[in-house]
Amino acid sequence: MGAVLTREVQVYDDGDGPSAAAARLTGRTATGERPVSGALTEVTLDDGRTLMVKRGEAPGEAAAEAAGLRWLGRAGTGAVPVRVPVVHGHDDRWLVTDLVPRGRPGRDAAADLGHALAALHTAGAPAFGSPPPGGPREAYIGRAPMRNVEGADWPEWYAEHRVLPYLRSAVDDGTIASGEAPVIERLCERLPDLAGPAEPPARLHGDLWNGNVLWGADGHAWLIDPAAHGGHRETDLAMLHLFGCPHLDEVLRGYERAAPLADGWRDRIGLHQLFPLLVHAVLFGRGYAEQALSAAKAALER
């Protein structure tokens, strides 16, 4: 049934705190801070800049995110930039980046986002499962462990390293009953026939739900919190469909103008959603498990 996710997620204590971390990693003095969430704090420095400081919740999380942001940011061109916050420093616990002032989503920004995602994906990766340069192989998607193991064949790699490990974990913790698992296992067996035309490894954001797209005050869309790796480009787009995205029709139009998708890609959305649904089942429970089982059944019936 594939590898089992056995790595423990170890939560750090607060240690030196976000202001001290920002000062240490930027070489500036922190003059103020404003908590945003449990893990995020806006920290103002003595040069007037306000940066975002994020506390990693597990070993290697901050390093993986920093490497992912840098890898994504190198994908665009001057005309079609992939906008990500600049990384100002990180260690094993803390990540310091630019703060992206919030705006409102718009259709022009959505079309530009589609064009940027096409540039990101076509920038490519060495293999399916490749981590970002300098990034750890033992990475995370949200708080779930994600192993970046390389493979040359997408259907085999997707089954072995993106579907079956989370299925096994969901069965082990009782979120999916053992009698329900075979439908997902059958889908994995049939992936070579269901995956559509072969594609080269794409450079993926890897956790592209709407919450990781920031609509900036500058009128552009920015990508944050990646679980970056080499994968199939339809997986990123399927995740945007799964959790919704403002002006998604414009995002897709912008994408297809730059890099048309293979015929039948809409029929494969559920197949690509199986990975994030199983991750969410492991993290958040039965509701997502039921969605994963439904997606697998629907894909098998096509």
pLDDT digits (tens, 9 = 90+) for 70-118: 999 999 777 789 999 999 999 989 999 999 999 999 999 999 999 999 9
Does 225 qualify as catalytic in the annotation?
Answer: no
Question: CA 140 → CA 58, 106, 153, 195, 223, distances in Å?
Answer: 9, 31, 22, 25, 17
Among 63, 271, 68, 285, CA closest to 184: 271
- pLDDT tens digits along 7-16: 444 443 445 8
pLDDT at 13: 43
pLDDT at 4: 45
Q: Which H or E run includes 41?
A: strand 40-45
pLDDT at 145: 92
Q: Is the pLDDT of residue 1 over 50?
A: no
CA atoms of 224 and 210, how far apart (whole Å)? 10
Coil, helix or strand for 42?
A: strand
CA atoms of 140 and 59, how far apart (whole Å)? 10
Coil, helix or strand for 71?
A: helix
pLDDT at 50: 97
pLDDT at 214: 97
Which residues on adjacent β-strands are paired with residue 53?
Answer: 41, 96
- pLDDT tens digits along 122-162: 999 999 999 999 999 999 998 899 999 999 999 999 999 99
- pLDDT tens digits along 180-228: 999 999 999 999 999 999 999 999 999 999 999 999 999 999 999 999 9
Where does 5-132 have alpha helices with state H?
17-26, 61-73, 107-122
- Candidates 13, 92, 153, 207; catalytic one: 207
Burial tier of 13 (Cβ tally within 10 Å: 0-12, 13-18, 19+): exposed
Taking all residues of the chain, what is their mean pLDDT, rounded to a whole number? 93
pLDDT at 7: 44
Angle of helix 286-301 relative to helix 181-194, nearest 10 degrees, comes to: 40
- pLDDT tens digits along 261-298: 999 999 999 999 999 999 999 999 999 999 999 999 99
pLDDT at 103: 96
Summarize the chain as % helix, strand, coil (round to 5): 45, 15, 40
Paired tokens of 46: 């003595």
Q: Which H or E run includes 85?
A: none
Inter-residue contact 167 to 275 (CB < 8 Å): no
> Domain map of the chain by residue range?
101-301
Paired tokens of 243: 């959790």
Burial tier of 20 (Cβ tally within 10 Å: 0-12, 13-18, 19+): middle
Coil, helix or strand for 250?
A: helix
CA atoms of 19 and 207, how far apart (whole Å)? 28
Which residues on adjacent β-strands are paired with residue 33?
Answer: 43
CA atoms of 117 and 251, how far apart (whole Å)? 9
Give the global pTM. 0.92
pLDDT at 6: 46
Q: Is the pLDDT of residue 31 over 70?
A: yes
Pick the CATH number of 101-301 from 3.40.50.300, 3.40.50.150, 3.90.1200.10, 1.20.140.10: 3.90.1200.10
Confidence of residue 69 (pLDDT cuts 50, 70, 90): very high
